[in-house]
Amino acid sequence: MQKLDITQNELEKWIQSKLIVPVSDSGDYFPEQALQYGKAVKNFLSMGYSYEAIAKIKNEIGLPIKDKTEKPLEKTRLLTVGELAEQGGVNTRTIKFWEEKGLINPHQRTEGGFRLYRVQDILLVKFIKDLQTFNYTLSEIGNIIKLVGPEFDHGQADAKEEDIEGLEKIASGLEYLIEYMKESRKASFRVEAIFNRRLKAVLKSIKQKRGS
């Protein structure tokens, strides 16, 4: 951070505001793009943006950072486990636990052994969370991830290496899951309707009692 010409207090404020995220809990190591992020943060601060405003820009559209050839890096940048956990809505222990179960894997490791993940892994984390709401076990979720393929968010997984029998098994499994989702959705609507009727009755009673 010496290259950014900022004080330790400023660095701590940046970390607290999650403008940059260290790759270790000690805060001593930062991802490769941290310097570029720091330059972008300093640029926004010089224009009068607050820490909160810069953090909002970072979360919603990403900071405008570039590589040595002046090409945008945002779409291809890697995330620390802290960044992945934050943007996926879980904690770092959950990421590590899922990693142990084979649900998610780091894209690469730094020379210091710190794990780095793809931006696309944010969608995978949220996908796993969504599946858990349907009470799937982690083992079942692992099988589902295998069914939908590594590029599940695009629906364009390369199946050229699969033979016809393998493809038919995948299709059968996906058809079952889709039907289960449909039935779950219908059940959800029915239960929600009961909750809504009860809520209306309770609110009506509250209004009557307050008016008496």
Note whether 51 and 66 are within 8 A (CB): no
* C-alpha to C-alpha distances, 78 to 55, 95, 134, 180, nearest whole angstrom: 18, 15, 30, 35
**Per residue in 116-155, pLDDT tens?**
888 888 889 999 999 999 999 999 999 999 888 766 655 5
Which of 187, 126, 133, 131 minimizes the C-alpha distance to 153? Answer: 126
Question: How confident is the model at residue 203, as a pLDDT?
Answer: 94
Return the bridge partners of 72, or none.
66
The structural domains of the chain, with segments of one domain joined by +, span 1-74
Question: How confident is the model at residue 37, as a pLDDT?
Answer: 75
Which of the four pLDDT bands, split at 50, 70 and 90, describes residue 29?
Answer: low
Q: How many CB atoms lie within 10 A of CB 176?
A: 11
Instruction: Say what angle helices 121-132 and 138-148 make with each other, to 10 degrees.
Output: 130
Residue 182, φ and ψ in degrees, nearest 5: -60, -45
Question: How confident is the model at residue 148, as a pLDDT?
Answer: 86
Note whether 102 and 135 are within 8 A (CB): no
Question: How confident is the model at residue 129, as a pLDDT?
Answer: 94
Question: How confident is the model at residue 64, as a pLDDT?
Answer: 61
Note whether 118 and 79 are within 8 A (CB): yes
Question: How confident is the model at residue 51, as a pLDDT?
Answer: 80
Note whether 53 and 24 are within 8 A (CB): no
Domain spanning 1-74, CATH architecture: Orthogonal Bundle (1.10)
Which of the four pLDDT bands, split at 50, 70 and 90, describes residue 175?
Answer: very high
Q: Is the pLDDT confidence value at 70 over 70?
A: no
For the question of whether the overall pTM of this predicted structure is more than 0.75, the answer is no
Return the bridge partners of 66, or none.
72
- Between CA 104 and CA 64, with CA 75 as vertex, the angle to 5 degrees is 135
Question: How confident is the model at residue 82, as a pLDDT?
Answer: 85
